[in-house]
Structure 1
Amino acid sequence: MGDSLPYVRVNGIRVAYRFDGKEGAPVVTLSHGLLADYRMWDPQVDALAARFRVLRYDIRGHGASDAPDGPYSFEVLDADLVALLDALEIARTHFLGHSIGGMIGQRFAACHPGRIGRLILAGTSATTPVASAWEGWLDTIRRGGMQGLVESMLDRWFDDAFRAAHPEEVARVADAVRASPAAGFVGSAHTIMALDHMPLLPRIKAPTLIIVGAETRSASVADGEAMRQAIPNARMIVLPNARHFANIEQTAAFNRALLDFLGS
C-alpha cells in the first residue's frame, strides 16, 4: 500500500491519487504498471514537477485503491480514469502509462481524443504480452499467494547486474509485489489475457512516444514496433541496458526522453 492518499469514489470504488508540481501548470497523468503503485514513478516526479502538474493514481486492484473481486476490463479501467479526471476537474492531460497503465492509455487516447495532449507508452503492448505465462502466474497465486510471484517477477524485470548494484530499488519493487492484493492481480491478469487494442491504435491522434527497454523479457521491442506502425503519429526509442522498468533502470535517459517529447 502507498502512503496515506486522498481518494475519490468512482464507479463504485475508491481510487487513490496524488498531485505534485505547481497548480495551474499543464497536467501529466502517470499510470503505473501491473503489481506496482503510484510510487513506481518516484524517479520521474522531480523532473516532471518542475514544469507540470503531476497526477499519479493507483489503478483499480492496486496500491491504496480498492481491489474488488470479479473480472475487470479495459473499458472499466478507462472509465475509472475518466471519472477520476472529471472528479478532479481535469479537462485535458498528457498521459504516461507503463505496462497495464500503457494499455489503459491506449484506450483513453483512442476513445477520448479531446482529453489527451501527448501520449507516452512505456514497457507495454497492444496485445497480450508473454501470453504463455499468465496461467502459470495465476496458478502460483492460487497455491501460495503473492509471495510466490516475487522472485520470478524480479528475474523477469531486472538483470543480475542491476539487482546487485541497486538492491534498495529492487527491494521496493519486491515489496510492491508482495503488497499487491491477490484479487487485483487476478482481475488485471484476466484483463490483459484478453487484450487486443490493435484495432484501436489507428484512432489515436495524439503525438505518441513509445519507450522500450532493449533487454525486456515482458512487452517486447517487436510489440513496441507493432504499436509504432499502427499509431499514425508515433515514434519509438529503445533504451539500452534496460528490461521492463526502464524508468528505474535508466532513469536519466528515460526522463530526458520524457521532457524532450513533452516539450517538443
Structure 2
Amino acid sequence: MTLRRMPVPRELTAVSADGARIHVEVYGPEGAPAVVLAHGWTCSIAFWAEQIRALATDHRVIAYDQRGHGRSPLPGPTGQGYSTTSLADDLEAVLAATLGPGERAVLAGHSMGGMTIMAAAGRAGLRQHAAAVLLCSTGPSRLTAEATVLPLRPGGLRTLLTGAVLGSKAPLGPVTALSKKILKYATMGPGSAPDRVDTCARIVHACPRPARYGWSQVLAGLDLRAGLADLRLPVAVVVGTADRLTPAAHSRAMAQALPHCTGLVELAGVGHMTPVEAPEAVTAQIRELTLTYLGAKEEAEA
C-alpha cells in the first residue's frame, strides 16, 4: 500500500465557554462518518498525522489543538484556564462548531485527550454527539502514583519524585540525540523506530513551557473516576504493555469500571505514544468503532 499524503485541512476556530479560542482542523469529505481526535499533554494535531492520513479518505476527521498546545493560544497568566472543566468546555465547543444538531461521531482521546472525554462525560454536548469512544493510553486518577518513569519501588517517594520530574518548569531545549533517548525511555517502547522517536520528540519539544507546566499540575491531582462511570456508551480501550506514563493497570481497571466496554487491546512492547508507535493498530480500532456505531463502510483495497 502506498503512503498517503497528508490531506489539506479546512481550518476553523471554536470558542470555548470562557472565550478561549481553540484551533480546529477538519479533513475528508463532508457528510462522511465523523471522527473527533483529542490529543494528549504536550502534543498537538500533528500527533494524529497517521490516523488523519488513513481515515480522511472516507471519514470526516476533526482534530483540534488542546488549549496552550499547537495553534491554540495559552490560557491567561492567572492559570485559571488549566482545569478539567476547561478541557470539557473545549471539547464541547469543538463538537458544537463541527457537528450538526444530532450528528454523532466517534471520539478518540489519547492520554490527556482521553481524560478530556472522561471530564466531559456528563455534558449534554458529548451525550448528543458521541456515538462511541476510544480511550487510548490514559487513566482517570493516581497518575503520578502509578507512573513507572522512575525505576523506584511504588510508594510516596516515587510519587513525589515523579510529580517533580513531570511538573518541572525547566525548558526542554532543542531536540538532540540525548533528548530523544530520554523521551524514548520515558514515553515509548524499547523497539520504537528512530523516525517515530524523532516525530514524538519534535512534537513534545514544540509545546510551550507554560502549557507543559500548567497542565502537569492538573494531571498530577485529577480524579475522573466519576466521569468514567458516566461514559454510558460503547468504549474501546487501548494501551501499550510498555507504557510508563499510564501503565496498563489503568486500562485494565477502566475496562472493568466502564458501563459498556467493547474490549481492551494491549499492544505488546508499545509505550505511551500509541498513535505514533502503533498507528495501524490505533486506526483499526477507530475504524472498527465507526463501522459498528456509525455504519461506515469498509475501506476499499488500495
TM-score by length of 2: 0.78
Q: Aligned to 1:62, which of 66, 69, 74? A: 69
Within the candidate set 1, 9, 13, 2:15 is matched to 9
Q: Which residue of 1 aligns with 2:85?
A: 75
| Residue type at the aligned position of 1:27 | A
Q: 1:96 aligns to what SS in structure 2? A: strand
Corresponding letter in the other structure for 1:123: S
- Gap change, CA 1:199 and 1:52, over 3 Å in 2: same
Q: String of CA shifts for 1:14-64, please: whole Å, max 9, x gaps.
A: 211111111012221000111110011111113222332100000011111
CA distance in structure 2 between the aligned counterparts of 1:220 and 1:18, rounded to whole angstroms: 30
Cα distance in structure 2, aligned partners of 1:51 and 1:259: 10
1:106 equivalent in structure 2: 118
* Partner SS, residue 106 of structure 1: helix
Q: Percent identity?
A: 27
CA offsets per residue over residues 198-253 of structure 1, 9 Å max, x none?
Answer: 12222211100000001111111110011111111012111112111122222222
- Letter in structure 1 aligned against 2:13: Y
> Out of 229, 234, 241, which is 2:269 matched to?
241
Give 1:146's match in structure 2, choosing from 146, 169, 172: 172
2:106–2:286 Cα contact (<8 Å) kept: no
Tell me if 1:18 matches 2:25: yes
The answer on 1:161 being equivalent to 2:168 is no
Which residue of the other structure, out of 37, 43, 54, is the alignment partner of 2:44?
37
Matched, 1:134 2:163: yes
SS at match of 1:121: strand
1:116 to 2:116 alignment: no
1:216 is aligned to 243
| Partner SS, residue 34 of structure 1 | coil
CA contact (8 A) 1:110 1:205 kept: no
- One-letter amino acid of the structure 2 residue matched with residue 246 of structure 1: T
Q: Any conservation in 1 of the 2:14–2:93 contact (CA below 8 Å)?
A: no
Match of 1:25, SS state, is coil
- Structure number with higher helix proportion: 1
Say which one has the larger Rg: 2
Q: Is the 8 A contact 2:241 2:248 kept in 1?
A: yes
2:13 and 2:267 map into 1 onto residues whose CA distance is 34
**Contact 1:110 / 1:201 at 8 angstroms: preserved in 2?**
no
Going from structure 1 to structure 2, the CA distance change for 1:239 and 1:90 (only over 3 Å counts) comes to farther
- 1:53 and 2:81 are equivalent in the alignment: no
The letter of the residue matching 2:142 is T
More deviation, 204-213/248-257: 248-257
* 1:260 shift after superposition: 2.0
3-state SS of the aligned residue for 2:43? coil
Give yes or no for contact 2:121–2:227 (8 Å, CA) kept in 1.
no
> Distance in 1 between the 2:191 and 2:265 partners?
23
Q: Is the 8 A contact 1:247 1:254 kept in 2?
A: yes
Unpaired runs of 5+ residues, structure 1, are none
Does the C-alpha gap of structure 1 residues 101 and 211 become closer, same or farther in structure 2, counting only changes over 3 Å? same
Give the Cα–Cα distance (whole angstroms) in 1 for the partners of residues 240 and 247 of structure 2. Answer: 8
Cα 1:191–1:42 change in 2 (3 A) is same
Rate the CA distance shift 1:9–1:204 in 2: closer, same or farther, 3 A: closer
